[in-house]
Amino acid sequence: MKSASYAIDGTAIKIVASSPGAQNVYIHVEGNAVVYLGGSDVTTTNGMPTEKNAVPINIFVPRGNELWGICGAGTENVRILTEGA
């Protein structure tokens, strides 16, 4: 497993890089802001919203795909756990 931490703000940021195989990704938003997830085109309008201050969520990322995040207000710390070394 690999772990990472990102400070996500109003500019979309790549939080999971593409991989030659599919990945199960665990994401935990540490604070009370909503982080929106999606592709490189993610916005607060089209992204999948996360729950505020909730347990980690599991997302399946197909091979060759990336996962991006953007925060609707302020900056939010997000922890990521992915498969791989």
Q: What is the pLDDT of residues 21-63, one digit of tens each?
A: 999 999 999 888 899 999 999 999 999 999 876 788 999 999 9
The CATH number covering residue 36 comes to 2.60.120.10
Give dist(CA 75, CA 41) in Å, integer: 19
Examine the pLDDT at 78 and tell me if it is beyond 90: yes
Domain extent for 68: 2-82
Is the model more confident about 17 or about 55?
17
pLDDT of residue 85: 56
Q: Distances from the Cα of 10 to the Cαs of 29, 49, 59, 82, in angstroms?
A: 15, 14, 22, 23
What total of structural domains would you count in the chain?
1
Say if residues 4 and 80 touch (Cβ distance below 8 Å).
yes
